[in-house]
Amino acid sequence: MEQAGWQGKSVIFVWKVKGPVGFGKRGSFEGFCSGGGIAQIAKTVVLEKKQQGFDVPWCRTDKQWDDLTAKTVAQALFQDDPTAKKIMQEVGLYLGKGLSLMIDMLNPEKIIIGSIFVRQHEILAPIVQQVIQSEVLLQSSRVCQVVPAGLGEKLGDYAALSVAYEKAVESKEQGGMAG
């Protein structure tokens, strides 16, 4: 059976009609919780703040606006910026809601999250845990742990190596590589 190649991606559910786009779906879980989605949320929040007359020091120029990424938000967060904190609280809320749905449906013992959760664990974990405690069935919330990936920033490297290895094995099996 051929698979779509989306293993490990939770992009299927949509939270809001409006929201950041992830994998071509506006308001999706991936849109709210991915690096690209965080940048979209940041642009919305920064625009709101500017229209309300507030200064956002890390996004004053057109170039800063164009270059706005999840990393920009993280750097501002380390400076204890309230706008960056608001952005990450929204991300944590939707990450918690998405995980709550998965926990209720699948009843896992552990969910391991890479990328943004590894990088922003200190701020996201308490928000996620609070949402899970308020939304998940009590029995499931007691059992499931949500943890950052142990490989940390090397997760992508290992994923790329595993894909390359799998392709090499496939090619060898099909007679494409000299053995």
- Asked whether residue 125 falls in the same domain as residue 175, the answer is no
Note the residue count of the chain. Answer: 179
Tell the residue number behind the tokens 């308001």, with chain if given: 27
Q: Assess if residue 47 is contained within a domain.
A: yes
- Asked whether residue 142 falls in the same domain as residue 166, the answer is no
Over residues 152-173, mean pLDDT: 75
Residues 96-125: pLDDT tens digits?
Answer: 998 998 899 899 999 998 878 888 889 899
- Asked whether residue 28 falls in the same domain as residue 99, the answer is yes
- The pTM score is 0.75
> What would the two tokens of residue 159 be?
């994923």
Q: Assess if residue 134 is contained within a domain.
A: yes
- Asked whether residue 139 falls in the same domain as residue 118, the answer is yes
- Asked whether residue 92 falls in the same domain as residue 179, the answer is no
Domain count along the chain = 2
6 pLDDT band, cuts 50/70/90, is very low
Tally Cβ neighbours within 10 Å of residue 165: 10
Look at 31 and 155; give whichever has higher pLDDT: 31
Residues 8-60: pLDDT tens digits?
Answer: 444 455 555 577 777 666 667 777 778 888 898 999 999 999 999 999 999 99
> What would the two tokens of residue 72 be?
């920009």
Tally Cβ neighbours within 10 Å of residue 91: 27
Q: What is the pLDDT at residue 1? A: 41
Q: What span, in angstroms and rounded, lies between the C-alpha atoms of 66 and 59?
A: 9
Cβ neighbours for 13, distance < 8 A, ≥ 6 positions apart: 28, 29, 98, 101
Q: What span, in angstroms and rounded, lies between the C-alpha atoms of 8 and 139?
A: 24
